[in-house]
Amino acid sequence: MKIPYYPGCTLNTVAKDFDLSAKTSALAMGFELAELPQWNCCGATFPLTPDNIIALTAPAKVLSNARLAGDTLTTLCSVCYNVLKRTNKVIRDDKERRSTINGFIEADYDGSLNIIHFLEILRDRIGFEKVKKAVKKPLNGLKAASYYGCMLLRPFEDMGIDDSEAPMIMENLVTALGAEPVTFPNKIECCGAHLAMNNEDIVTRLSGNVMTSAVNSGAEIIVTTCPLCHYNLEKSQPKVAESTPGYKNVPIVYFTQLLGLALGQNEAGLGFDKNQWDARPLLKKKGLL
């Protein structure tokens, strides 16, 4: 089974480990992520003012090209997922904006694409029970905190992947992989997002709240779905450790890295060497590597 796949700009560059481990894991689960032959950046933010049509043209172009490859499109980055899914809904439900957008991109796209996150393939198309059966190396004893952030979940009526206040999709996945899910109060809080560009203090505080909340709840490793969350957490960790007595740095990994590991895939296909806080010593200690 081949599923059309949109990597987005970040997975093609600084988050190659996310892309690589997802492709490796997909093959191990019996499907292939087929990268779109032609794609462009989604714009990395869904415009919050409905009259900002021009910001919808980049994602609309992605969608229009993707429709040529099939009726489904999957993606991994939370932001790409948010932007593509919300734009698709606008095109599907709003005739006036659809016609304006199509005029700009010289296409005739109708919003008929089904945008699904990689997590939804695992939960809805394959089923976590089957994922559990495919596990070759259960992640026994690994205490993993699933960090959702914002864009995967909100706004609920557009995203709908899971409850936006108390999501469980990632905990259910890590449970299927044999790990011990750690729930923590800040799992749906913002990491500081694009303020990484011009306001490091806020990012350090917000990412710090996320990490200390996870670690205080017993996490040994933090699992993410978003390259920007991943970056903000990784980068903030030294300052957080410095200002929080007793805090010990934890590895921050993509859910696909743990998935591939549990599916018995070779370390080389999972990109652990790219993480700033190396997860391998912890995984070795747990007998998982």
Partner 1 sequence: MKIKLAQSAIEGSEINQLERVTGEELKRCYQCGKCSAGCPVSFAMDIPPTQIMRFLQLGMFDDVMKANSLWVCVGCLQCYARCPQGCSVANVLEGLRQMVLRKGEDHYGVKEISARFLEKAPQQAIVCGFRKFVS
Q: Residues in the site for partner 1, rule: CB under 8 A?
A: 8-10, 13-15, 41, 43-45, 47-52, 55, 77, 79-80, 150, 154-156, 164-165, 188-190, 192-199, 202, 205-206, 209, 227-228, 230-231, 235
Q: How far is the CB of 205 from partner 1 (least distance, A)?
A: 8
User: Which lies closer to partner 1 via its Cβ, residue 65 or residue 186?
Assistant: 186
Beta strands 2-6 and 72-75 are: parallel
User: Which lies closer to partner 1 via its Cβ, residue 73 or residue 263?
Assistant: 73
Q: How far is the CB of 79 from partner 1 (least distance, A)?
A: 5
Q: How far is the CB of 27 from partner 1 (least distance, A)?
A: 25
Q: Are the C-beta atoms of 71 and 112 separated by less than 8 Å? A: yes
Q: How far is the CB of 63 from partner 1 (least distance, A)?
A: 17
Q: How far is the CB of 254 from partner 1 (least distance, A)?
A: 13
Q: Are the C-beta atoms of 252 and 230 separated by less than 8 Å? A: yes
User: Which lies closer to partner 1 via its Cβ, residue 130 or residue 194?
Assistant: 194
Q: How far is the CB of 226 from partner 1 (least distance, A)?
A: 9
User: Which lies closer to partner 1 via its Cβ, residue 205 or residue 286?
Assistant: 205
User: Which lies closer to partner 1 via its Cβ, residue 228 or residue 263?
Assistant: 228
User: Which lies closer to partner 1 via its Cβ, residue 14 or residue 68?
Assistant: 14
User: Which lies closer to partner 1 via its Cβ, residue 8 or residue 251?
Assistant: 8
Q: How far is the CB of 123 from partner 1 (least distance, A)?
A: 22
Q: How far is the CB of 93 from partner 1 (least distance, A)?
A: 14
Q: What angle do CA 185, 74, 57 make, to 5 degrees?
A: 100
165 contact partners, CB below 8 Å, separation of at least 6: 188
User: Which lies closer to partner 1 via its Cβ, residue 133 or residue 197?
Assistant: 197
